[in-house]
């Protein structure tokens, strides 16, 4: 009996955790226009930095365009996700350009 009630308690606890997780996810997913604006500005800033290093990626531009399109359609969840994707890509291109400042020398024919 004790074992059963123990299992039930564990099950109840798991259910509560899952419910909380689901609730918090849905709360997180409901992005607003302000969220989009902030995410988009971050992505644009990172891409601008990549531009200064002469190493922007076409995929960053595509993700930025998709983000804008989703925001115009009022789908801010998708818009924020695309903007975050663009920011990650832009940061990767900045890393690449910074790394290559020295790394290119290793490839030179000698």
Partner 1 sequence: MNLRPAIRLASAAFGLATLLWAALPAGAADSVDPAADAKAFQNYFTTKFPKLKPADFVNGPYSLNEDMHRQWVEKEEFPPYEFSLDMGKEMFAKPFKNGKSYADCFDNGGIGVRQNYPYFDEKEGKVITLELALNRCREANGEAPLSYVKDEMAALTAYMAFTSRGKPFDIKIPNDPRALVAFENGKEYFYTRRGQLNFSCASCHVQNPGERIRAEILAPALGILNAMPIYRSEWGGMGTTSRRFTSCNSQTRGVPLEPQSDEYRDLEYYLSYVSNGLPISGPGARP
Q: Using CB under 8 A, list all residues that contact partner 1.
A: 54-59, 61, 89, 92-93, 96-97, 100-105, 107-110
State the nearest-atom distance from the C-beta of 58 to partner 1, in Å. Answer: 5
Of 13 and 45, nearer to partner 1 (C-beta) is: 45
Pairwise CA distance, residues 8 & 54, whole Å: 60
State the nearest-atom distance from the C-beta of 48 to partner 1, in Å. Answer: 12
State the nearest-atom distance from the C-beta of 43 to partner 1, in Å. Answer: 15
First-to-last CA distance in the chain?
79
Of 31 and 43, nearer to partner 1 (C-beta) is: 43
Closest CA to 82 of 48, 42, 28, 51: 42
Pairwise CA distance, residues 5 & 85, whole Å: 46
86 touches 43 (CB < 8 A): yes
State the nearest-atom distance from the C-beta of 9 to partner 1, in Å. Answer: 50
Of 50 and 83, nearer to partner 1 (C-beta) is: 50
Pairwise CA distance, residues 106 & 83, whole Å: 35
């Amino acid at each position: 009996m004790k074992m059963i009630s123990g299992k039930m308690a564990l099950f109840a606890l798991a259910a509560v955790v899952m419910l909380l997780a689901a609730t918090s996810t849905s709360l997180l997913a409901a992005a607003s226009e302000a969220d989009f604006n902030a995410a988009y500005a971050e992505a644009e800033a990172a891409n601008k930095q990549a531009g200064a290093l002469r190493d922007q990626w076409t995929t960053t531009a595509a993700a930025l365009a998709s983000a804008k399109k989703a925001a115009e359609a009022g789908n801010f969840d998708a818009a924020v996700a695309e903007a975050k994707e663009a920011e990650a890509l832009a940061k990767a291109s900045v890393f690449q350009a910074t790394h290559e400042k020295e790394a290119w020398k290793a490839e030179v024919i000698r």
